[in-house]
Chains A and B, each alone.
Chain A
Amino acid sequence: MGEVEKMKKEAEGLKTQIEAARKAVHDTDMAAAAAGLASAPRVQLKTRRTLKGHLAKIYAMHWSTDNRLMVSASQDGKLIIWDSHSGNKINAVPLKSSWVMTCAYAPSGNLVASGGLDNMCTVYNLKTPVVKIVKELDAHTGYLSCARFLSYAEILTASGDTTCALWDIETGKQKTVFLNHIGDCMCLALSSDMNTFVSGACDSLAKLWDVRDGQCKQIFQGHTSDINAISVTSQNTSDSCSTEKRQKRASHAVSSFKSASSLMLIFTNITIMANINFFPIGNAFITGSDDCTCKMYDIRSDQEVIGYQDAQLNSGVTSLALSMSGRLIFAGYDDFNCNIWDSLKGEKIGVLSGHDNRVSCTGVPADGMCVCTGSWDSFLKIWN
């Protein structure tokens, strides 16, 4: 008993030490440091493509590394692979479970993955004559909120069971499990060197992990509600995936529901969000939250360095993507718009309006040539 008391004291002492160390390096914030910078120009982007084909809400999208193809996932129970230049559909992959929350394109372009309320991550081969399931990764005990390929052999997942996991696709087994969050993991973003990733969760914390040793290296606070979106402006792609935000009660309730129609009710009442993206040089990441704000955290300073908020914005952030220089943040909101923020100065400099329902996902391809928004209105739009 005495031992536990001693540890509690040490824990408190360490927490105070960490806070003091953060304060000690907080000699300015991003907005103040960027005061001398010219404002980014007002950004006015036009819709270049409206991709029609899904029959229900779109929950997620992800660009291929070829900057041309992309995959989208919808409640209509399909993944669609699109050629963004022509607007044509290349593939339509029927899903065993229509309760999909995330999709991902492998760097090689041969594989895609999806997952959701089925608690599984299913990997598909696009290059066989008929699209085939390569593996069903089944070990999470909660919904799959996000998945990202490291390569054709490994994939990272985030789950409502509060864990993230690194899988060996060939064996179908988890190589590493990342345990530390106390709330549903809603989103994850991989650094461009793939050695670290950040996760956002319903405990309103963002955590930085070492992919290989499973260690949680740093914990970031600041949001006052669930983190739905996390964006590491990676050198290659910045994207957002959507996931359902769940109240703890709902997440337990869904697993005991048997009828499809009851599941549908829960599914449609849940707001989707999951965004966390790295900044291009991997020193920082952006998060978007239910608290209607986005924040940038610098990893080396171990703290929040700027917030993106507006008194008139009172809808939750569902998704995030960064332009390739990191200067622009495209944030999708519940109010059907995607707002464009100057990442350095914290100013709102544009809006993408055009969807008739919540923007659930956004993504910028590696070459930064455009931004794609996906919506509950069942359409995807490409803008530049």
Chain B
Amino acid sequence: MTSNSNLSSMRRTVEQLRLEASVERVKVSQAAADLQQYCLQNASKDALLVGLPAGSNPFREPRSCAVL
């Protein structure tokens, strides 16, 4: 009985490894370039990176507010 469960768990392991081995891998230089491109394209919209003018910061009280 143990040899049966050994066999089926080995089979699962081999099947899993076959699946992983069949993955097509992209060169790290290409992957890095794509990630960089995304970061740079979105940098100007990233409030934590470039900062926010006080007026448009929902977490900051406006200094003066004149309502006429």
B11 touches A7 (CB 8 A): yes
B59 touches A4 (CB 8 A): no
Query: Known: A4-B6, A280-B38, A302-B23. Contact between A325 and B46, CB under 8 A?
Result: yes
Residue of A with least CB distance to B39: A327
Residues of A within 8 A of B29 (CB): 27-28, 33
B32 touches A34 (CB 8 A): yes
Q: Which of A30, A45, A49, A215 contacts B19 (CB 8 A)?
A: A215
Of B30, B35, B43, B47, most buried by chain A (CB within 10 Å of CB) is B35
* Cα–Cα, bound, A14→B22 (Å): 10
A324 within 8 A of B: yes
Q: How far is the CB of A195 from chain B (nearest CB, A)?
A: 16
* Cα–Cα, bound, A215→B18 (Å): 13
A33 touches B36 (CB 8 A): yes
Residues of A within 8 A of B63 (CB): none
Docked complex: B1-43 residues within 8 A CB-CB of A: 3, 6-7, 10-11, 13-14, 16-21, 23, 25-36, 38-43
B33 touches A325 (CB 8 A): no
B48 within 8 A of A: yes
A169 within 8 A of B: no
* Cα–Cα, bound, A27→B29 (Å): 6
Please, how many residues of chain A have a CB less than 8 angstroms from a CB on the other chain? 65
Query: Known: A4-B6, A217-B23. Contact between A328 and B32, CB under 8 A?
Result: no
A328 touches B36 (CB 8 A): no
A283 touches B31 (CB 8 A): yes
A328 touches B48 (CB 8 A): yes
* Cα–Cα, bound, A100→B60 (Å): 32
Please, how many residues of chain B have a CB less than 8 angstroms from a CB on the other chain? 43
A224 within 8 A of B: no
Q: Which of B6, B31, B34, B52 contacts A369 (CB 8 A)?
A: B52
Q: How far is the CB of A172 from chain B (nearest CB, A)?
A: 28
Residue of A with least CB distance to B32: A33
A218 touches B10 (CB 8 A): no
Q: Which of A3, A24, A302 contacts B7 (CB 8 A)?
A: A3
A11 touches B39 (CB 8 A): no
Query: Known: A281-B34, A368-B48, A369-B47. Contact between A301 and B26, CB under 8 A?
Result: yes
B32 touches A28 (CB 8 A): yes
* Cα–Cα, bound, A151→B42 (Å): 27
Q: Which of B10, B25, B31 contacts A284 (CB 8 A)?
A: B31
Q: Which of B30, B38, B58 contacts A326 (CB 8 A)?
A: B38
Interface residues of B (CB under 8 A from A): 3, 6-7, 10-11, 13-14, 16-21, 23, 25-36, 38-43, 45-50, 52, 57-60
- Please name 9 pairs of A and B residues whose Cβ atoms are closer than 8 Å in the assembled complex, sorted by A: A1-B3, A30-B28, A37-B36, A37-B40, A298-B26, A323-B49, A324-B48, A327-B46, A328-B48
CB-based closest 4 A-B pairs: A33-B32, A325-B42, A48-B59, A325-B46
Q: 13 other contacts beyond A33-B36, A326-B38, with CB at 8 A cut-off?
A: A4-B10, A25-B28, A27-B28, A30-B35, A41-B50, A48-B59, A48-B60, A279-B38, A281-B38, A327-B39, A368-B46, A382-B59, A384-B47
